[in-house]
Structure 1
Amino acid sequence: MKNLCRKMLALLLAGAYAFTLTACSNSTGNKQTKQEDAAVQLSKVGTYPIAEKPLAMTMVRLSMPNVVDFASNDFSKFIAQKTNINWTYQTVNMDTADEQINLMMSKKPLPDAFLFSTPKVSKYGVSEGLLLPLENLIKENMPNFMAYIKEKPELWSQITQADGHIYGLPTINDCYHCKYRNKMWVNMRHLRELNLQVPTTTEDLRQVMQAYKKAHQQGIPMSGSIDGWGHQFYDWITNAFILDPGVQAGKLVVSPDKKIESIAVKKEYRAALQYMHSLYKEGLIDDSAFTQTADNYRKLMNNEGEPVLFAPFGTISDAYDANSKPQAYADYRVMAPVKGPEGKQHATYFRYDGILENKFVLTKDCKNPAAALRWIDYFYTLEGYLSMQFGADKDKDWRLNPTDKKGLDGSKALYEIINQYSSDPQNHDWQDVGLNFATEKVRFGQATDNSVDIKSAAGLEKLLYTETKEKCEPYAQNPKTDYDVLPVLKFTAAETDQLNQITVDVKKYLEENRAAFIRGVQNPDDDQAWDNYVKGFEAVGLPTLIKLSQTAYDRTIKK
């Protein structure tokens, strides 16, 4: 199965290309047509076709560089024939989607639905009432989705907004290795050449970095980037002192007694900064890691001799192409988190990742909400997911229950992919901008050759699974005894208005001061400097951020 990083790269590239299709026709929104469409007889829930006669509806969706034309796409034709619902698609470009969608929401009539790129639910649903509440309609029209809710009942609360309503349906990509995205990769060849072992403590880490720097004057003991997926060295190192919740305004965590706190003002966090500052003073941390983009980081990794010893990445495929640089790709392996001076040793488990909320919404002008929800319910099946992602030609694009094949985790395979994912333009399937139903069971159920060479491109998913299972999962935080990451919190429109600027200010203040302390612009050993830093959070609104987050947590999550 294609990995999440490749998918995210494709989505980022979407901004560079937009294939504009036929816009929603105003005539479909007139009163007579709406009444006629609403009167179309629907079949029994869970059966196909959904409509007795063709039903026309309009949808806004995200464009994608590797999907040529949604109107003539093979899967678009398949799902239209299966359901008898014919969508007119209007696409938006990722770079300008919010602006385009906001403009659409100010005009009449509204399109029936939005897919993947959707209006902000807190504004257009909770506050302005332009989106339909779906909870009752879901129960009446979506047996496949409701079956999954029985397996994961917590999902219902997760997609419920602050006003108690559900306005959007989620896309699911329950990626095991992605939930441990803050990984540190080490060049094993460099260690072997120096007769060094993989470090297990912060002091070991320092000594190995010193030895590498001494032997390789032009070498870089540790680097990273400011914007890549899992590229932040400071998040990984902080886990040896206190649980780090990753890239997030305020570095908020949940305590075992369900209190929202910020690690950024804790003495353990200060100790982490002091340790990183000491490494930086010795030239062991690459200064460019505080400013370079993911692209420049990749270029650095690909310099002659693989100069970076310790390299944070969510996946090593972000650094090297296994086909063009097979040796460099094979040299790096994940290392377990190092243990800090107080015995802390965390691999942050982002337990709430994998659910992207509100990726299918209906507007108040939707002509037939029941039909639209029955249509999207097909996507919450294994067959629907595989057809959307890889093509709808069963036994040509994919095969169910392949004989004598194992899944990624060693269990019996549920399916085998024949038409592999491609980032090249194609018009056979929707790939990453439909509605995924890649649950953990589904992802683990893909037929995998367990003897595959993990040093090859074909072995990437196996590599990531194995390395995560052995090096990360044993060190996941226990929320009963330690801090935990925050779930996705639901704020009211008024709370959101308060938070909009606060989150920007807090994030900027934290990042600027973190860099200053590590680089020695400010001295983390100086009590006055530390006290001034902690007090400074009041001016940028951290107490308000914590208070509003606690309110939202208590309202919808705390049991």
Structure 2
Amino acid sequence: MKKIKKMSLLLISAMALVACNSETEVDDTSSSEPVEQSETTQEAAETEVAVNKEGFPIVDQQITLDILAPGVGQAEWEDMPVMQNYTELTNIAFNYTTPPQSDFATRLNLAFASGELPDLIYAGGPNSLNAAGEVDYGSQGLLIPLENMLEEYAPNFYQLLEENPAIRQSITTTDGHIYALPNVVQSDTASWIMGPVWYNGEWLDNLDVEAIPETVDEFYELMIRFRDEDPNDNGQQDEIPISDVSMNGLRGWFMPAFGIKGWGIEEHDGQARYTFATDNFRAYLEYMNKLYQEGLLDRETFSQSGEQKQAKGQNNQIGVFQDWFSYFTTGQSEEEALNNPMFGPLTSEWQQEPVMPMDPGIKRGSFAITKENPYPEATLRWVDYFYSPEGYEYISYGPEGYLWEWDEGGEEAGNKVYNEEVDEENREQYRGTLTPAYGITIPALTVELDPIGGSRSEFTDFIKEETDEKIVQHGEHIFPLVYLTAQEQEEVNTIKVDLETYIVESEAAFITGNREINDGTWAEYIETLEKIGVRRIEEIHQAAYDRWVEAGE
């Protein structure tokens, strides 16, 4: 095994040498009484574990914390050199619980329901530790408020708040507290709501396709060709024109073709509306049902895992798919992936002007500290490093001696080159064995990094050009990053679980044809949504939207 080498790290400034000896009060909008501090935190205060004010280690004697995070599928976290090396630097070690990404939200909910909480939640992201969870668990005292510790123990993140007040506005709940830190994106991919959809460029070349579709009809015709004309050129009819896992990747990029910007609540002409209770959503379902029935959408979409989809992609069986970069699915090199164009906006009778959903560049819920954590100040210092450009480079590329090494000029020259022992075609997969910054929403300041080997890569320029052309010039935000009051959130929580369960089940049933789409079944569907409480969901979010507009005036 290669020796782990410590990087030369920028010192983290503005840290006070302080013991964990202060109580934290949590204000609840429904009560003037503070939430009681947990016994674990009180015990930690009594132990007076000192946090060093700058540099490494963060604490002089090693401490161990329980972390809950999604697995990245390439290696176990305890085997990753980044985590091993950072433990050496900080003196903070972990007991890891890292279920697969597909199971993470369930595992996180179970932890809160059972009361068996980790010390910190890492890379929860908006699909797991969402705004509702922040408000709910924060108001219960299960997550501790962070805002009063940020200036002292998270100076890198605090600087971001000072430079961009919109970040603070977007992560401060209605009770005035910050319960979770976000991923902040200042890069070419900042506008992505998730990894884009990609076309298989080899298939396009084999069929002499000169331009990607611009309408839903053109897309349909191309998928027919993908199905019937052997675009992978193996003499077998094994092509799957479109594949996904439970529509979680495709849905957000295809719905705009039918006049819907995103999942759940969206802003439409100043009004908050629930997208799944619109005729636009019916049109989307009818279109997807058509693709499914004609063998264009993978018949295993609602039963396969991400790993199974990836295996099909690496076997060159998929024509259209969603992933962060196309080579994550295809297994190609970056150079080969230059040939895979990004999916662009489609138009239809429902949406005659191209539109694509655009992310605000803030992904909430990426990092939270629970009431069980005996060392919250040290934990904040641990994560804050990744909100600096150097820290993000470290967690992205790993320590020296694995993916990269210094060139002949040495560390003083500061020029990184790829480790010659790493196969060029498998660099990205190898990187996923080094660091957790691989396909999950890590708590960090995501910036454009100085590329290994010197100049900005052709692939990086390709991503920027595709993003500007396909997303940015047509981009609209789905809905502002608002928070609800505790009372509103409680009401939404009561409604939302049944509502979304019914919607997900209905989407699968309508697309697969297990439930026919006609005027009668659609009326029943809408009636059920209304009985569950969809109109009340819209009313609550309209009030939150109006508050958000007023706050910006």
Q: 1:201 to 1:415 in 2, by over 3 A?
A: farther
Aligned residue identity for 2:276: A
Residue matched to 1:177: 189
SS of residue in 1 equivalent to 2:214: coil
- Post-superposition Cα deviations, 1:274-332, rounded to whole Å, max 9, x if no partner, equal 444455555544433344333333344455xx454444444322321116x997x6764
Check conservation: 1:213, 1:220, Cα contact below 8 A.
Answer: yes
Residue 35 of structure 1: CA displacement?
Answer: 4.2
Q: 1:358 to 1:102 in 2, by over 3 A?
A: farther
Once the two structures are superposed, the pairs formed by residues 36-435 of structure 1 within 5 Å of their partners are: 37=48, 47-48=54-55, 54=60, 59-62=65-68, 65-68=76-79, 73-80=84-91, 87=92, 89-94=94-99, 96=107, 99=110, 114=120, 116=122, 121-127=134-140, 129=141, 131-172=143-184, 176-177=188-189, 179=192, 181=194, 183-198=196-211, 199-216=213-230, 218=237, 220=239, 222-227=241-246, 230=249, 232=250, 234-245=251-262, 248=263, 251-257=264-270, 259-280=271-292, 282-303=294-315, 306-322=316-332, 332-341=340-349, 342-352=351-361, 354-357=362-365, 359-361=367-369, 363=371, 366=374, 373=380, 376-390=383-397
- Post-superposition Cα deviations, 1:362-406, rounded to whole Å, max 9, x if no partner, equal 648856x66665565444323334445555669996789x99xxx
Residue matched to 1:472: 471
Check conservation: 2:120, 2:370, Cα contact below 8 A.
Answer: yes
Residue matched to 1:19: none
Q: 1:70 to 1:124 in 2, by over 3 A?
A: farther
Q: 1:434 to 1:399 in 2, by over 3 A?
A: farther
- Post-superposition Cα deviations, 1:46-105, rounded to whole Å, max 9, x if no partner, equal x45798x9467553324771433999933222234xxxxxx4644434465655576666
d(CA) in 2 for partners of 1:36 and 1:381? Answer: 30
- Post-superposition Cα deviations, 1:396-426, rounded to whole Å, max 9, x if no partner, equal 96789x99xxxxxxxxxx9857679876799
Check conservation: 1:149, 1:155, Cα contact below 8 A.
Answer: yes
d(CA) in 2 for partners of 1:190 and 1:365? Answer: 52
Check conservation: 1:184, 1:311, Cα contact below 8 A.
Answer: yes
Residue matched to 1:443: 448
Residue matched to 2:530: 538
2:483 corresponds to which of 478, 490, 495:
490
- Post-superposition Cα deviations, 1:509-545, rounded to whole Å, max 9, x if no partner, equal 3234334444555554x43343332222112332233
- Post-superposition Cα deviations, 1:19-42, rounded to whole Å, max 9, x if no partner, equal xxxxxxxxx97989844627x697
Check conservation: 2:198, 2:340, Cα contact below 8 A.
Answer: yes
Determine if the alignment matches structure 1 residue 527 to structure 2 residue 537. Answer: no
Determine if the alignment matches structure 1 residue 502 to structure 2 residue 502. Answer: no
d(CA) in 2 for partners of 1:159 and 1:99? Answer: 24
d(CA) in 2 for partners of 1:434 and 1:471? Answer: 23
Check conservation: 1:223, 1:312, Cα contact below 8 A.
Answer: no
- Post-superposition Cα deviations, 1:128-177, rounded to whole Å, max 9, x if no partner, equal x3554332332355432222112221111222123111233334455643
RMSD: 4.8
d(CA) in 1 for partners of 2:46 and 2:522? Answer: 66
| Aligned-residue identity in percent | 21
d(CA) in 1 for partners of 2:170 and 2:209? Answer: 46
Check conservation: 1:126, 1:493, Cα contact below 8 A.
Answer: yes
Aligned residue identity for 1:506: L
Check conservation: 2:450, 2:456, Cα contact below 8 A.
Answer: no
d(CA) in 2 for partners of 1:519 and 1:371? Answer: 50
Residue 261 of structure 1: CA displacement?
Answer: 0.5
Unpaired runs of at least 5, structure 1? 1-27, 81-86, 404-413, 478-483
d(CA) in 2 for partners of 1:193 and 1:427? Answer: 34
Residue matched to 2:25: none
TM-score, normalising length from structure 2? 0.68
Residue 451 of structure 1: CA displacement?
Answer: 7.8
Residue matched to 2:12: none
Q: 1:197 to 1:71 in 2, by over 3 A?
A: closer
Unpaired runs of at least 5, structure 2? 1-38, 231-235
Q: 1:430 to 1:397 in 2, by over 3 A?
A: farther
